[in-house]
Chain A
Amino acid sequence: MKAINEKTQAIIFGRQLKAIQRMLDFDYVSRRSVPSVAAIVDPTTEGFETAFFGSDEVLIPVYRSITEAAEKHPNTTVMINFASYRSAFETTKEALDIPNFKIIAVIAEGIPERKERILGALAREKGKVIIGPATVGGIAAGRFRIGNAGGSIENIIASKLYRPGSVGLVTKSGGMLNEMFNLIARNANGINIGIAIGGDRYPCSSLVDHLMGFESDPEVKFHVVLGEVGGLEEYKIVDALKAGKIKKPLVAWVTGTCAKVFPTEVQFGHAGARAGADKETADAKNAALREAGAIVPESFDGLPEKIKEVYENLKQKGEIPEIKEFTPPQVPMDFDKAVKEGLVRRHRQFITTISDDRGEEVKYAGVPLSEIIESKKGIGYVIGLLWFKKSLPDYAVKFIELILQIVADHGPCVSGAHNAIVASRAGKDLVSSLASGILTIGPRFGGAIDGAGHYFKWAKDSGLSPMEFVNEMKKRGIPIPGIGHRVKSVRNPDKRVELLKNFAKENFPSTNYLNYALKVEKITTSKKENLILNVDGCTGVLLVDLMKSLNLTDKEIDERIDAGLLNAFFVLGRSIGIIGHIIDQKLLKSKLYRTPYDDVLYKLPKKADL
């Protein structure tokens, strides 16, 4: 096809990144100076994609409309349309109206025949060529590749598609292109151009249309045609042969000769491949072609020899030019492939030991999600897997869920909820408001769980008696984390603490740290009524008891406390309440909050004191 040369560029409809990469790999081994893909059209998004050109990367702009892409890239002459069968008609029609495009390849299968015929007629009217539909496309060897035609890069090299040979090939079937490329490379000097017009009954360009193009191209020395049972396409070749319009030798074979032995009508793979009338059978078409002067073997198996004969004959006559062979540059292997084949290795930047989303479904600590869901073990079990990498026993699961329920909320006045509400009322979004609430969690608000776990464990493990521990802390001037409450006291116990204690006593194998903490509480409350073991303290020590019962070593427990794991229960649980408050405020359409003046004591320095 003379419209195609080694500078030809295409616009690709559809974000077909693999096909685009294959085109660029073809470009690279063919030693093209510019990539064959100029732009992508994707009606849903715009921007850029990247693709390799050798080992370099090129940017390929993405546009929302064909018209816009064509305007920005006025030198593109080809559109490769990967639209689905539903939108292929409209998009191809749009492309036909754009002067840039001389050739449009339509890949989609399943376009209604009427739409196909309209597209074909419109293209003829405008003097353009549509290749397809229902095709892989084709290749102008050494110059231009349509999408996936030609297969893997190994096929491209093996069939010498990186440089033009002397054969013009046109087939119906796209699936047979590679085989024909191979056959022609082995029995002649390779294809100059090879096109699959598609297996439909009314392809938009016919076998003979392409043959006429080859006929007028001096680089094509002879034709090879692979037709198919069904339809009347091949008779147009017969007519052209008879009218003397095809002068170059033409080797042809029509497949589907087996149809005659089939008892009932069998639909072959292709839509057009159905022999209705006698004229449409493969035998009739092979006979007609032979009679009109085409070189037709006795079966497909005789095709290689016929091609070789014609080639050798033309070569002897000196009509086949010497081809300057070269070794095509090697396409760098993709990193992924090299990894898969074990050819390269690399240090990983990240390590994970808790979850894996590769494969069919995500795994938490090695357990597939569906298994967790089927077991109905609940969120406590998931936390066990992701935070402890342990399959937790039922009591532990229940305990974790108990904590989450207990700490879920504590009204709007506490720091977290308050901050979140203020942020939300200032018009901030949910995530910002939540962050603003959670950021108050620390040593004074909620964060005492870590401290309690840490100090009680340290005290008990160092063999300090409860009294010695209280004294030691006093000496250090540190209030014992997890001891004391603003409102609750011995006489007014914290219901939440009771719930936790009772559950643990009934279900835990041992509550040594809780027992220790309660002895400490006895001492502190004897000094002051409200120096009780509060909810943070109770949670902290019980989590230590829990980890002990899960057979974690002391070192492992300490590491987890240092990592903030105990506090995490409060962060997670309280997020539930904070989110509730934010949603509540949003639905109430609460206005901006401003602390009233009378809530603030203004005590500024006097000017004279400065």
Chain B
Amino acid sequence: MAQRGIREFHAKKILARYLKEYSNGKFHYDGKVALVTPEYSIDQAAKDNKWIKEVPLTVKPDQLFGKRGKHGLVLLNASFEQAKQWIAEKMGKEVQVGKTKGILTHFLVEPFVPHDKEYYIAIKTEADGDRIYFSNEGGIDIEENWEKVKQFFVPILGSIDDVDLSVLEPLIRDFVKALYKIFVDLDFTYLEINPFTIVGNEVIPLDLVARLDDTAYFWNKDKWGDVEFPTPFGRTFTKEEEFIKELDEKTGASLKLTVLNPKGRVWLLVAGGGASVIYADTVVDLGFGNELANYGEYSGNPSEEETYLYAKTIIDLMTREKDPRGKVLIIGGGIANFTDVAKTFKGIIRALREYKEKLKENNVKVYVRRGGPNYKEGLKLMKELGEEIGIPIEVYGPELPMTRVVTLALKGGTNEGN
């Protein structure tokens, strides 16, 4: 993976842990934040954090989505009881944010901070360096006031200490330097605090979005603490997706499955990360996006058993609900490097054989395209299977362009010369 969003709660905790050290004691942030979850109630949080019952509170969902204020999902200046009731109302409820629907499960609780001044800072990465954005006029209207945002570029081989920050007030300058150094040392890939305010020596981030580079885990796991990388908001896993995810975690091979539309007529069983995207693309490019049932891939030399389980999961899903127009299963892939095609096909063949009755009932047509070591044997096995179980299986090798099989499957006809 790479850039992964983290919860506002964890990002603020990290900031609280390091701001003092990185600003040589000039700033601090108390990190008064608590994360209420289905397992960790606000009552429990209040026991662990005395301030929760002592100060007015701000409460908002902490699930990697923004524009919470616009969706009426921020509670300001609330008493403990109000906060408790508000969370009780919202916990477990489905909300729609933009195109995405999801269940609310995590709430950030922090002291309500009355303030006049709202600053904006964001740091993002570019190929040649990092770009820092700063404005004295932060808050929700930042985009309207974008011309007031000051930009600074730190070359990847350079240092923030060599960047001219003289347009900033001295106090802000020091804060920017400290924050940037935390950003670098802890392998942030994105950090936006909008807004934050300064009370004495305390910098209080009011709203914050952060992403970490999870490949830096090996170096930074101690500094990050108990940070988690939640799945994007609204992304819940079906039983089958969960099963494949677990299978994937157990093996050195890669097995991925996302069900897009369980009623879709076009199902993909494709080898290889790169190829799998292109197969899905082609379905969409040919105008069948609304019929595309799944995205997924198997690669990295899975065993016959793993391939069988993966294929079975997809075939089971696609034969649950009949469609009078019939369905299409595309067993695709590019030209493998070293994977024995015949061997991986054996797992798929086992699953197809097991489901032959259901495949017939659902009027499924199978299209195969694959190349690589031992592909001829693999294709032969597939062809024979079609005759054996009485299901139409069309079989192609590298002589057919990789995605042409999608055209054949969706638009009909056969490839000339085959």
A residues with CB within 8 A of B: 85-86, 110-114, 117-118, 120-122, 125, 136, 148, 151-152, 154-155, 158, 173-176, 178-179, 181-183, 186, 199-202, 206, 228-229, 232, 255-258, 260-274, 282, 298-301, 303-304
Contacts and interface: CB of A to CB of B under 8 A. Distances in A.
Contacts of A118: 156-157
Interface stretch (B77-85, B382-390, B397-405): B397-405
A151 B272 CA distance: 14
Contacts of A113: 2-3, 125, 187, 189, 213, 215
B213 A136 contact: no
B213 A152 contact: no
Contacts of A274: 2-3
Interface string B264-296: 000000001111111011111110011010010
Interface stretch (B8-16, B104-112, B192-200, B252-260): B252-260
Contact of A258 (B1, B275, B295): B295
B273 A151 contact: no
A258 B335 contact: no
A179 B334 contact: yes
B284 A112 contact: no
A299 B282 contact: yes
Contacts of A148: 337-338
The residue among B258, B277, B295, B297 with the most chain A CB atoms within 10 A of its own CB is B277
B226 to A, nearest CB: 20
Contact of A257 (B156, B157, B285, B372): B285
Contacts of A255: 274, 277-278, 281
A525 to B, nearest CB: 68
The residue among B1, B2, B282, B289 with the most chain A CB atoms within 10 A of its own CB is B2
B289 A261 contact: yes
Nearest to A112: B216
Interface of B: 1-3, 99-100, 125, 127-129, 155-157, 184, 187, 189, 213, 215-216, 218-219, 232-235, 254, 256, 258, 260, 272-278, 280-286, 289-290, 292, 295, 297, 299, 334-338, 371-373, 398-399, 401-404, 406-407
Contacts of B338: 148, 151-152
A300 B282 contact: yes
Contact of B274 (A110, A182, A186, A269): A269
17 contacts: A85-B218, A86-B218, A113-B187, A114-B216, A121-B128, A151-B372, A228-B277, A232-B127, A255-B277, A261-B292, A268-B277, A269-B256, A298-B285, A299-B286, A299-B403, A300-B402, A301-B282
Nearest to B292: A261
B337 A151 contact: yes
Contacts of B272: 175-176
A145 to B, nearest CB: 12
A268 B187 CA distance: 22
A464 to B, nearest CB: 64
The residue among B254, B272, B273 with the most chain A CB atoms within 10 A of its own CB is B273
Given A174-B274, A261-B292, 12 more contacts: A114-B125, A136-B337, A155-B337, A155-B372, A176-B275, A178-B371, A179-B335, A183-B402, A299-B281, A300-B281, A301-B285, A304-B401
B125 to A, nearest CB: 6
A121 B292 CA distance: 41
A209 B235 CA distance: 37
A112 B2 CA distance: 8
The residue among A186, A201, A256, A301 with the most chain B CB atoms within 10 A of its own CB is A301
B277 A256 contact: yes
B371 A182 contact: yes
B277 A178 contact: no
A282 B284 CA distance: 12
Contacts of A271: 1-3, 215
